[in-house]
A and B are shown apart, each in its own frame.
Chain A
Amino acid sequence: MTLSECSLDMLRHLKLDSVDELFQDIPKEVRIDGLRLPDGLSELELRRELERMFSVNKTASAQPMFLGAGVYHHFIPAAVKTIVSRSEFITSYTPYQPEISQGMLQSMFEYQSFMAELTAMDVVNSSMYDASTALGEAVLMSHRISGGDTFLMSRAVSPEKKQVAKTYAKGADINIVEVGYDVNTGLVNLSDLKDKMKDSVSGFYYETPNFFGPIETQGDDIRSIVGQKTMVVGVNPLSLALLRPPGEIGADIVVGDAQVFGTPMNLGGPTIGLFGCRLEHVRKMPGRLIGMTTDIEGKRAYCMTLQTREQHIRRSKATSNICTNEALLALAAAAHLAVLGRNGLRQIAAKNVENMASLSSKINSIKGFKAPHFKGAHFNEFVATSEIGSDRIHRELLRHGVHGGLVIDQMFPELGHAMLYATTEMHTKEDHDRLIAALGVIR
């Protein structure tokens, strides 16, 4: 290696002749001689190469795209990007020194506050990795609250989340048992829930809107069936601009993904796991919490708190191993909600509902299609069933320059040929029309 004058200076100070001497503590038998990787690139070369590599990716603006299932395409105002691009935020670490990190701490407190308001929960932590791991942690926390060796989960949950929850449950030797849905409404099958709600059950998880799109209407009944056990509710937090929040229904834990507020799809990551609970459960909660306090001069200030739950203090007895989380995305969510305000937020939510209703009814009017497949109110997603095989529809749509909904035939064979469509404020009437036109010509 060629050394700079400064490096040589430092070596001289260390009374060493070469950098190699700094590595003499690595025994010969484990040494390697460099890395077999391509030579470095200049910034310009790097940009050129990556532009070329990515040019084959079809973005949501290059083709109308109707995927959701946990990750959604929403508008992000320029002001949000400006705020999230501040170097002071981006390049800071976990605020272990609160006096010099008040900006991030207050922003996290505001994120917690926005989410607490939307969900009507007392406490929301400053983020889990994503909705699926938030659910996994909720399974473990339910076990800490209510004991038991079984966790009940609605069948109307995304297979991705179910798989992650199963992985997490395995660590604590918890079985996950599915609760069916009503074939007409897609909502929780209450009698199945009653049957399975045994003593050995720690809790129950359902979503609203659920994987198929319908908004759960039986929250109060579910709460009374779940009784003293832990009720975990999954939400799309954007829908809570309009809908009755889970806190009012008596949820013990609320999970979801706050990616819908200010974070692009990013091929599914990073997104940001929303995790809230009732105050009485806070010491059993995973993740970072920011609390309000004062400094020695009595000025309002913020710091990380209840850290005795966390791994850096509690080690193997911690409520979770989580350390790095999605803090910057929490900032994005807070900035996004602040920029939209109550009026802007409600209007976007309403636009989603409107687009869902209009698109599903247009699909329903095509011969051989039924949409939405399930009766009742939906938010921005719905299932369309068809006589034609979904794989065929999917391929034909791609051929017409449209990326259709998610093919769910194999995940939920009981639905027959079924696709899950999401539509948001990003879709124009022309986008819908292109989808409808393409669907209309498939035979």
Chain B
Amino acid sequence: MTYHQAVYDVPTIFENCERPSPEEEFDPTVGGILPANLLRKELNIPDMPERDVVKHFVNLSQMNFGVDNGLYPLGSCTMKYNPKVCDEIASWRTVSDIHPLQDPSTIQGALRLMHELERMLCEIGGVDAVTLQPAAGAHGEYTGMQLVRAYHEANKETRKEVILPDTAHGTNPASAAMVGYDVLELPSKDGCVDVEALKSAVSKDTAAFMLTNPNTLGLFERNVREIAGIVHDAGALLYYDGANLNAIMGRTSPGKMEFDIVHFNLHKTFATPHGGGGPGAGPVGVKKRLEEFLPVPRIVESNGVYSLDYNRPKSIGKVRAFFGNYAVLVRAYAYIRMHGGRGLTSISENAVLNSNYLKERLKDSFELPYGNLRKHEFVLSGRTLKSRNLRTLDFAKRLLDYGFHAPTIYFPLIVDEAIMIEPTETESKETLDAFIDACEAILKEDPELLHSAPHNTARRRLDEAKAARDMIFSWRCYEKKRDTSRA
């Protein structure tokens, strides 16, 4: 065991306010332009030398673990290493210093990139048209559900319900609900969609069925064509959650599986580092019959000149201002061009190979419910830990001490004490072997070491209930609370 994270006690930036800086002469009315009654009275922001600010954040960064530090096998999140050239290109002035409302003649390069990216995503997804506007995967789902609603409304139908399997990502039901749909969660059978249950669940009220394939257990839904038939026969649409696309590129496509609407998580599959939670991008692809409903503007090309088309009377309108998360789109474009068709196919192959290797080596130490062959990820059950009075949470926390980020835990909900592992294609066999060694070593350790884990991280196990109770969301809250308790 060699990992030790840096441990600092870094006061918040605001504690530096307590050391007052020299008051500079300042006229808040700006020479009388702003009337005094519109002005604020105080502004509690510290003035720190740049040197101290950089120290503050660099020390904080050392108390943070990213893919660049080591294995981050967070299932369903596709935490792969992203080539640095993509980040660098996205920081070029010709990318960052352009305004979304510029005359199209002055941003032809940007429009061309987006137009070409749309075409490339059409090929990867097996769809006919793509919008780049959605800002994240969940936002793509939201856009997809708006398209579903627009489609049925155009057919003069009011369908009230969206069906999805109980293994679906939490964003799926939340997105459907935000568009006004009732959500029916379908219990799975052997880890996959229960086709008979689906048959009896669909009705003339079904607006769409949402599915990710491979699903969140890492299993390929072999009945996907039959599922598509059931959904389409009921007059409903089939929605593809693209969170797991990293498993199948070049081997199959959502379009080929007869999905009508697809979102892509560009930040997962196509090289935008996750940034501690974002930004991402969630483009949505559709089959021809849904193209007219896509958000405006559409980027159109004629004789090598790109322009914006707002004249789409059936469009759902806009889901976000402007074009979407352009700097993320640039990274995805660069990544796809770097790898080419064959490169992307081999990415999926390696992701699936790594996942199956890891699964094979770990399945006897835990339990592997539902079949054997997995795609890019797999879900173990940690319930065997219970016999030693341990839980998956304890195991996950102990992994941190070995310098590995923990897998996704307690999801999907249908697996008891779930441990969801996605190694991605960018990890070497040596790294996977080291991870396996760590897992095996942990299982032999004194349970107390696990209960009290982590030990080698910047902080020990947190009192999360206290955070919910105290509700200190800002330095302002903290000071209010402190002043009340003093009084």
Cβ–Cβ contact A46 & B85, under 8 A: yes
A442 at the interface (CB under 8 A from B): no
Q: How far is the CA of A406 from the CA of B101 in the complex (A)?
A: 7
B390 at the interface (CB under 8 A from A): no
B439 at the interface (CB under 8 A from A): no
* Chain B residues, CB < 8 A from A129: 135-136, 139, 320, 325
Q: List 3 A-B pairs, minimum CB-CB distance, nearest first.
A: A268-B100, A328-B275, A268-B322
* Chain A residues, CB < 8 A from B79: 91, 93
Cβ–Cβ contact A89 & B276, under 8 A: yes
A101 at the interface (CB under 8 A from B): yes
Cβ–Cβ contact B334 & A50, under 8 A: yes
B220 at the interface (CB under 8 A from A): yes
Cβ–Cβ contact B99 & A100, under 8 A: no
Known contacts: A79-B54, A86-B57, A266-B95. The answer to whether A295 contacts B34 by CB under 8 A is no
Interface residues of B in 148-165 (CB under 8 A from A): 149
* Chain A residues, CB < 8 A from B219: 25
Q: Mark contacts of B418-431 with chain A using CB atoms, 8 A cut-off: 1 yes-contact digit, 0 otherwise.
A: 00000000001110
A409 at the interface (CB under 8 A from B): no
Contact for A32 among B94, B103, B256, B454, CB less than 8 A: B256
Q: How far is the CB of A60 from chain B (nearest CB, A)?
A: 5
Q: Mark contacts of B67-81 with chain A using CB atoms, 8 A cut-off: 1 yes-contact digit, 0 otherwise.
A: 111001010010101
Interface residues of B in 324-346 (CB under 8 A from A): 324-328, 334, 336-346
Interface residues of B in 387-417 (CB under 8 A from A): 396-397, 400, 405-406, 408, 411
In the complex formed, the residue of A with least CB distance to B277 is A327
* Chain B residues, CB < 8 A from A34: 250, 341-342, 345
Cβ–Cβ contact A311 & B21, under 8 A: no
* Chain B residues, CB < 8 A from A328: 275-279
Cβ–Cβ contact A269 & B43, under 8 A: no
* Chain B residues, CB < 8 A from A324: 135-138, 265, 267, 274, 277-280, 282
Cβ–Cβ contact B275 & A9, under 8 A: no
* Chain B residues, CB < 8 A from A293: 462-464, 466-467, 470, 472
A390 at the interface (CB under 8 A from B): no
Cβ–Cβ contact A65 & B60, under 8 A: no
Contact for B320 among A9, A102, A117, A132, CB less than 8 A: A132
Cβ–Cβ contact B321 & A244, under 8 A: no
- A-B contacts, 10 listed (Cβ < 8 Å): A23-B251, A27-B224, A38-B341, A41-B338, A93-B274, A93-B277, A270-B278, A291-B473, A315-B183, A321-B138
Cβ–Cβ contact B57 & A57, under 8 A: no
Cβ–Cβ contact A269 & B322, under 8 A: yes
Known contacts: A99-B459, A339-B50. The answer to whether A93 contacts B40 by CB under 8 A is no
In the complex formed, the residue of A with least CB distance to B406 is A97
Known contacts: A7-B350, A291-B467, A296-B461. The answer to whether A353 contacts B98 by CB under 8 A is no
Q: How large is the interface on B (under 10, 10 to 19, 20 to 34, 35 or more residues)?
A: 35 or more
Contact for A54 among B95, B275, B344, B349, CB less than 8 A: B95
Question: Interface centre among B177, B342, B406, by most A CB within 10 Å?
Answer: B177
In the complex formed, the residue of B with least CB distance to A346 is B26
Q: B4-12, B194-202, B232-240, B442-450: which one contacts chain A?
A: B4-12
In the complex formed, the residue of B with least CB distance to A247 is B476
A184 at the interface (CB under 8 A from B): no
Q: How far is the CB of A172 from chain B (nearest CB, A)?
A: 6
A67 at the interface (CB under 8 A from B): yes
Known contacts: A30-B257, A122-B473, A315-B173. The answer to whether A267 contacts B326 by CB under 8 A is yes
Interface residues of A in 61-118 (CB under 8 A from B): 61, 63, 65, 67, 69-71, 73, 77, 79, 82-83, 86-104, 106-110, 112-118
Known contacts: A71-B100, A270-B328. The answer to whether A217 contacts B38 by CB under 8 A is yes
Interface residues of A in 288-333 (CB under 8 A from B): 288-297, 299-303, 305-306, 310-318, 320-329, 331
* Chain B residues, CB < 8 A from A113: 12-14, 474-476
Cβ–Cβ contact B106 & A398, under 8 A: yes
Cβ–Cβ contact A22 & B352, under 8 A: yes
Q: Mark contacts of A9-23 with chain B using CB atoms, 8 A cut-off: 1 yes-contact digit, 0 otherwise.
A: 111011000010011
Known contacts: A55-B94, A167-B319. The answer to whether A326 contacts B279 by CB under 8 A is yes
Cβ–Cβ contact A117 & B475, under 8 A: yes
Q: How far is the CA of A131 from the CA of B12 in the complex (A)?
A: 27
* Chain A residues, CB < 8 A from B204: none
Q: A156-164, A198-206, A362-370, A427-435: which one contacts chain B?
A: A156-164
Q: How far is the CA of A320 from the CA of B68 in the complex (A)?
A: 31
B1 at the interface (CB under 8 A from A): no
Q: How far is the CB of A317 from chain B (nearest CB, A)?
A: 7
Q: How far is the CA of A71 from the CA of B173 in the complex (A)?
A: 32
In the complex formed, the residue of A with least CB distance to B360 is A14
Q: How far is the CA of A36 from the CA of B123 in the complex (A)?
A: 7
A436 at the interface (CB under 8 A from B): no
* Chain A residues, CB < 8 A from B276: 89-90, 92-95, 101, 104, 107-108, 327-328, 331
In the complex formed, the residue of B with least CB distance to A29 is B225
* Chain B residues, CB < 8 A from A122: 473-474, 476-477, 480
Cβ–Cβ contact A116 & B322, under 8 A: no
Q: How far is the CA of A398 from the CA of B92 in the complex (A)?
A: 23
B354 at the interface (CB under 8 A from A): yes
Q: Mark contacts of A32-53 with chain B using CB atoms, 8 A cut-off: 1 yes-contact digit, 0 otherwise.
A: 1011111111010011011101
B47 at the interface (CB under 8 A from A): yes
* Chain B residues, CB < 8 A from A43: 83, 85, 338
Q: How far is the CA of A327 from the CA of B66 in the complex (A)?
A: 14
Q: Mark contacts of A329-369 with chain B using CB atoms, 8 A cut-off: 1 yes-contact digit, 0 otherwise.
A: 10100110111011111110010011001000000000000
Cβ–Cβ contact A40 & B337, under 8 A: yes
Q: How far is the CB of B277 from chain A (nearest CB, A)?
A: 3
Q: How far is the CB of B152 from chain A (nearest CB, A)?
A: 13
Interface residues of B in 107-152 (CB under 8 A from A): 107-110, 112-113, 120, 123-124, 126, 135-139, 141-142, 146, 149
Cβ–Cβ contact A35 & B344, under 8 A: yes
Interface residues of A in 381-403 (CB under 8 A from B): 394, 398, 403
Cβ–Cβ contact A325 & B473, under 8 A: no
Question: Interface centre among A36, A102, A291, by most B CB within 10 Å?
Answer: A102
In the complex formed, the residue of A with least CB distance to B177 is A316
